[in-house]
Structure 1
């Protein structure tokens, strides 16, 4: 992963923006019921960036540039549903010193390794605010005062603790925070699923014997892009052991909701658990899928620290997008 992608995606996770907002175009006021946490100002309006969105920009502004608060201006408008703090985004970004105007770090703009992170957990406080209510396809000029910029532990060479930072951010893509499809009526004999306020599933197993064959049922039907064999799906998931009589029965063996960050799954034989390939191929983004994997479609006789041998596994998967 490129250094800038690591800077944005990893490191210290600070407190997120208070609530997941529904959005509008950042820095331009309230639209579609969303008021951005930050607005444009004289500093962000002075930033110019030439080149197409998704390509490395040529950035100019009068130096030294200083700001007392985070400012954001839209250089190129976007489209589609605005972005909340709970969503993962894919961005290309160039950081520059407000003091000298020099570039200090950037993503590689090849499309292969954009920075991907959940907006509300990015370690640059001002960037968390600036991206709420942005839209896919936007190019943003973000001016970050020292206290809202890059933390000292991650500060690139060429920046001092007193520098204002300019970031030019291209929003390449955004993924759902949770499945948003139409609720479906579930059949009898299946595990029951209750969703928390953030979409996190709680799974209760029936007292019956697990099925001997793979079973797949949609809790929600999405209407987004179709996940096909070989695609990389962006998902949230929770997995539970279903093995009556075993101490692990009913326990969660893994969940992406614990970290708060979605994961990528290659939907292809040999790349992930066999039953999940079958369960996800042909599904649409926005769907929530319940998949019951018998041992032959899961890990068979293998065991791990959280999964006993010959266990049936129950997954609830939110399909958030295609990477």
Structure 2
């Protein structure tokens, strides 16, 4: 990935099949499960086992978890201990959460996040390495505390299993869903001007960019494909985004080449909207935008990498970015 463009978080806690097991790094009266709400069809529901779990303490603080042992389930169960609010979560969304894991056979705690508020686990629900959590979080809401019971086959994979768990142990997880980010820009569509690159969105929101035949502009151009209505991104903020970048360099073999895209991994990235942290043209393009917007930014070389070449971008290249602003970190 070229220097100074958005970079994937090296501190991502759960991605693909990986589960980090240090305390700071492992992902993290009962109501029913998350339920079939607002048209959302849950992948897991409440059951006898999940309804026996109690987790006292305020939301966002390390809970005291009690349940009768041993617990064992054949399929993931989830009960809501504290109700959340807002739109039900989908598998495509990234969330931040604090989690406590316990051995369901012995009741012993095996791992948890630090609950400081500064280092919650962040992961895309559909990509988390614990299959049962993928099921339990669909249709949950931000602000919810969930009690989840995971059978061994849907719990922490063997390669990442922490000390205190065996291959035959079910797992209890208490999950506080702190925040969630959009899966894709959801703002209102805007009419685009002539002479700009054409953008067509795939079913998942992934942009395809077609460059016009005219000469690239020599000054920064910014246009909104969608206008969001969420929180405003100020200079210095960290924006959570999905993006695709294309080289616009007529008469060069790289013209139209995608040099980088977060969509290839399916995971959003964090961008600090500050010069010196991100290429200057993107700082200007993102500052003042609202969450939910989709932004087309055309960066002349002076607003990108100038006469410096990278492994994927020739010197003196104009860059075209399509950026979905999913949230503020």
**TM-score tier (shorter):** over 0.9
- Which of residues 167, 172, 176 is equivalent to 2:178? 172
Do the aligned partners of 1:48 and 1:61 also contact (CA within 8 Å) in 2?
yes
Distance 1:137 1:28 in 2: 12
Matches within 5 A, 1:160-199: 160-199=166-205
- Give the drift of 1:6: 5.9
- Give the drift of 1:112: 1.2
Q: Deviations over 1:89-134 (max 9, x none)?
A: 1010000000111100011111111111110011100000000000
1:266 aligns with 2:291: no
Structure 1 pair 6/245, CA: closer, same or farther in 2 (3 Å)? closer
1:244 aligns with 2:238: no
Distance 2:167 2:173 in 1: 16
- Which of residues 88, 94, 113 is equivalent to 1:88? 94
Structure 1 pair 176/252, CA: closer, same or farther in 2 (3 Å)? same
1:152 aligns with 2:158: yes
Distance 2:121 2:207 in 1: 28
In the other structure, the counterpart of 2:146 is: 140
Larger mean Cα displacement after TM superposition, 58-67 or 134-143: 58-67
| SS in structure 1 at match of 2:132 | helix
- Which of residues 18, 28, 37 is equivalent to 1:31? 37
| SS in structure 1 at match of 2:49 | helix
Q: Deviations over 1:242-275 (max 9, x none)?
A: 0101110000000000000000000011110100
Q: Deviations over 1:165-184 (max 9, x none)?
A: 00000000000000000000
- Which of residues 116, 121, 133 is equivalent to 2:122? 116
Output the TM-score relative to the length of structure 1: 0.93
- Give the drift of 1:29: 2.7
Output the TM-score relative to the length of structure 2: 0.92
What 5-or-longer segments of structure 1 have no aligned partner? 14-24
1:204 aligns with 2:210: yes
* Structural RMSD (CA): 1.4
Structure 1 pair 28/294, CA: closer, same or farther in 2 (3 Å)? closer
- Give the drift of 1:296: 0.4
In the other structure, the counterpart of 1:100 is: 106
Distance 1:216 1:29 in 2: 42
In the other structure, the counterpart of 1:287 is: 293
Distance 2:218 2:172 in 1: 58
Give the total of aligned pairs. Answer: 308
Distance 1:158 1:164 in 2: 12
Structure 1 pair 46/26, CA: closer, same or farther in 2 (3 Å)? closer
Q: Deviations over 1:220-246 (max 9, x none)?
A: 000000000110000000000001011
- Give the drift of 1:306: 1.1
Do the aligned partners of 1:7 and 1:154 also contact (CA within 8 Å) in 2?
no
Do the aligned partners of 2:72 and 2:151 also contact (CA within 8 Å) in 1?
yes
- Give the drift of 1:319: 0.1
Q: Deviations over 1:264-289 (max 9, x none)?
A: 00001111010000000000000000
- Give the drift of 1:11: 3.8
Distance 2:251 2:177 in 1: 50
In the other structure, the counterpart of 2:54 is: 48
Q: Deviations over 1:275-317 (max 9, x none)?
A: 0000000000000000000000000011112100000000000
- Which of residues 293, 311, 315 is equivalent to 1:309? 315
